Structure 1
Amino acid sequence: MREEPGAAEATLDEETLRLLHKTVKKVGEDIEALRLNTSVSALMILTNRLADIPRVPLETAKTFALLLSPFAPHLAEELWERLGGTKSLAYEPWPTYDPALTVDDVVEMGVQVNGKLRSKVKLRRDATEADVRAAITNDPNVLAHTQGKTEKKFVYVPGRIINLVVG
């Protein structure tokens, strides 16, 4: 992550900005809970996303270096210095995140038919039961397992799962 001319003016798209804030939250929480493998995984996901954009903003690169420092301190210090850091990362505050950016408006939910996952649908987090029914009504994977059967029970846990019991 070399600082290039114009890197300070570069901006992140909405999806990448949300991923950055989610990563800051996850790494911070995971370090406190000693879930180090999942922290590294979150950093790898962020790295892959940042590799896809033409210019990484300077502040984003600095945030990444701070997040990396507990896992690869020497490498993070080198990155920090190349990004214009004047003092050691050890004296820098941990990055903060915006809680509003860590919550997705649209979530992917599993659709179960008789307890087995048959499909997945993307819906707004606050979707009503009517919205959910409308979304799964024409799903071919759901139809294949419900066609010609009567619905005995419909369970919808908002933002989590949809379950149909048919017979």
Structure 2
Amino acid sequence: MVNDRRSKNQMGEGAWREDGKGINTWDEFVHRNSNKIIDRSTGDIAADSYHAYHEDVSLLKFFAADVYRFSLSWSRILPTGRIDYINPAGIQHYNNLINLLIANGIEPIVTLHHWDLPQPLMEIGGWPNEEVIHHFTNFAHLAFRLFGDRVRKWVTFNEPFAL
């Protein structure tokens, strides 16, 4: 049932340069350092959940899952990491996914940050720069405003202590 386009070794939504998504730190890292990845794969396609979310939700329903945790790509919603431009295609994608989950009786649990800081924010120093914290706050408030009517459970950072 898995789409042949999907990488066997990666999770993630893929579609790394589609529909207005900005570059994030993971995109930058894997394209500059492919030798650091055992199979030299990237997140370009990954699990391709961006294109295959209908199939993914069908599988979740088939296996009687009642919750699904996924991560928002900050750079898909805010390509520069800043609130200056909100990508409508990114918003539509996550609205479609959330609505489909709920229509199938599956509760969405949303992670705000999953190791993919928008690259423009890394270029100003990343998380140690307090300005980035301000931008993350704007992103979080936007996510709550856009999706909070349907998402009750939020995760701030995925695996914050993993190295």
- TM class by smaller structure: under 0.3
TM-score, reference length from structure 1: 0.26
**Structure with higher RCO (Cα < 8 A, 6+ apart):** 2
More helix by share: 1
Structure 2-normalised TM-score?
0.26
**Going by fraction, where is strand more abundant, 1 or 2?**
1
